[in-house]
């Protein structure tokens, strides 16, 4: 985030960007490519990790990515291993 910008103003702008998305894919693209203003990064990825299975949704800087590419497979393995939750019963 540039030093002259207020973090609350940047967050508000990102919220407006997200709310103006016309569909889920556009929302994913906007989140991946606009949040760099708030938090600097080289590459961002989004996964759906419901049911402890990582499903690749998108990567920053790319409109479309082969979900079966070698890098996506590696990211999926990492995210899956991080997202496994143990269930505890009392």
Question: Domain check: are 4 and 29 in the same one?
Answer: yes
How far is 21 from 44, CA to CA, in rounded Å?
A: 18
Question: Domain check: are 48 and 90 in the same one?
Answer: yes
Question: Domain check: are 11 and 49 in the same one?
Answer: no
Question: Domain check: are 18 and 58 in the same one?
Answer: no
Q: pLDDT tens digits for 22-78?
A: 999 899 988 888 888 777 888 889 998 887 778 899 998 887 778 889 999 998 888
pLDDT on residue 85: 58
Question: Domain check: are 8 and 30 in the same one?
Answer: yes
Strand ranges, E, within the chain: 45-48, 55-59
- pTM of the shown model: 0.68
Question: Domain check: are 36 and 51 in the same one?
Answer: no
How far is 52 from 83, CA to CA, in rounded Å?
A: 6
Residues spanned by the domain of 90: 44-90
pLDDT at 90 over 60: no
Domain count, the chain: 2
């Amino acid at each position: 985030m540039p030093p002259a910008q207020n973090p609350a103003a940047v967050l508000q702008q990102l919220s407006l960007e997200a709310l103006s998305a016309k569909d889920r894919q556009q929302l994913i693209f906007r989140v991946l490519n606009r949040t760099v203003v708030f938090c600097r990064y080289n590459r961002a990825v989004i996964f759906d990790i419901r049911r402890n299975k990582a499903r690749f949704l998108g990567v920053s800087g790319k409109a479309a990515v082969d979900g079966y590419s070698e890098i996506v497979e590696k990211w999926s393995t990492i995210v899956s291993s991080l997202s496994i939750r143990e269930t505890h019963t009392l």
